[in-house]
Amino acid sequence: MKFTLEATAPGSAARAGVFTTAHGSVQTPIFMPVGTLGSVKGVHMRELRDDIKAQIILGNTYHLYLRPGLNILEKAGGLHKFNGWERPILTDSGGFQVFSLSGIRKLKEEGAYFRSHIDGSKHLFTPEGVVDIERTIGADIMMALDECTPGTAEFSYARKSLDLTMRWLDRGWKRYKETEGKYGYYQSYFPIVQGCVYPDLRREAAERVQQYDADGYAIGGLAVGEPAEKMYEMIEVVNEILTPEKPRYLMGVGTPANILEGIDRGVDMFDCVMPTRNGRNGMIFTRHGIMNMRNLKWASDYSPLDEGGASWVDEAYSKAYVRHLFVSGELLAMQIASIHNLAFYLWLVGEARKHIIAGDFAEWKPRMLENVTRRL
């Protein structure tokens, strides 16, 4: 995997670059739509590629391991062949899902024991086993198994959690280096920087992960209950240490404002379920602000959903019509909102990239931040 830094923004840590994988190149900063079960909910691959202009999507190791299962994925030739997505794929490690299943999981030195949310069956994720699972899924970028510490954790817990994550990383990296992909192409493996909201732990983690000389590094354990300003502080702490020659991935974040603030602090890659999950519930993000499509104020507003917007759906459907679909419970409402929101997120990071290259990101960002946080 090759990463080329193309530009940095005066007065900001924002940067533009490109990384190359076996399934194509990705321009950064980039937002990656979340395809938990091998699909981005309600969106065809053609729409992802041509309308939304996604360059890379995510798959979820925990969910794909349980269903459809590794045998089916391997027989298909990996997730790319199974779902028909020809561009890069990143898989998380399942660590966050184990974190969210706190009532039905146990963390041990050997790994994370958990019960399936589908049928209650018992399973164990080890650092080595997760590498094997992600090899079978066939992701271009694989994430290391970690413990995602709650944002409100006490220092003593965060200390023990980080130490466990680092011991797991050492084992996972060893397995990664002694194995190869099953489908004839190179796969990257990203360590994850943890440390909760404690600067000393974050600095230590950022320094320790770089001993592996990986293709890139992720920042995990944020947007999990801590204040937004604390999240931004931790990003700054980590990115002061992580080498600028490798891409930096902020996991599971977030709102358009979070993304702009992350870019400003030197983050290259983002993912979040927010554009699709919130979209399915009637929240539309636009360059002018945020709309709740169930509000009565849109009932007789026949203007385009987002005039001059990032996708064809923005001009094709009026606010009144989309509101009607939502209040009527029509599935098309969720599909339109998902396409629109994802296209907007990709437009937003694309605009950020343009302004970084043009050298005026520091002037552009405050204006755009005011727009995207406005409630319409």
The catalytic residues are: 92, 271
In angstroms, the CA 234 to CA 371 distance is 25
In angstroms, the CA 170 to CA 88 distance is 26
- 143 contact partners, CB below 8 Å, separation of at least 6: 61, 90, 91, 92, 93, 95, 134, 189, 190, 192, 218, 251
- 228 contact partners, CB below 8 Å, separation of at least 6: 258, 261
**Tokens matching residue 38:** 């091998």
The answer to whether the beta carbons of residues 116 and 125 sit under 8 Å apart is: no
The answer to whether the beta carbons of residues 173 and 208 sit under 8 Å apart is: no
Tell me the pairing of strands 15-21 and 289-292: unpaired
**Tokens matching residue 67:** 């269903």
AA identity, residue 350: G
Q: Is 297 helix (H, G, I), strand (E, B) or coil?
A: helix
Supply the DSSP string of 82-137, one letter for each residue. Answer: HH---S-EEE--SHHHHHHTGGGEEE-SS-EEEE-TTT--EEEE-HHHHHHHHHHH
In angstroms, the CA 93 to CA 63 distance is 10
Beta-carbon neighbour count of residue 301 at 10 Å?
16
In angstroms, the CA 96 to CA 100 distance is 6
- Matching residue, tokens 């343009």: 354
In angstroms, the CA 237 to CA 150 distance is 18
In angstroms, the CA 86 to CA 96 distance is 26
In angstroms, the CA 375 to CA 304 distance is 17
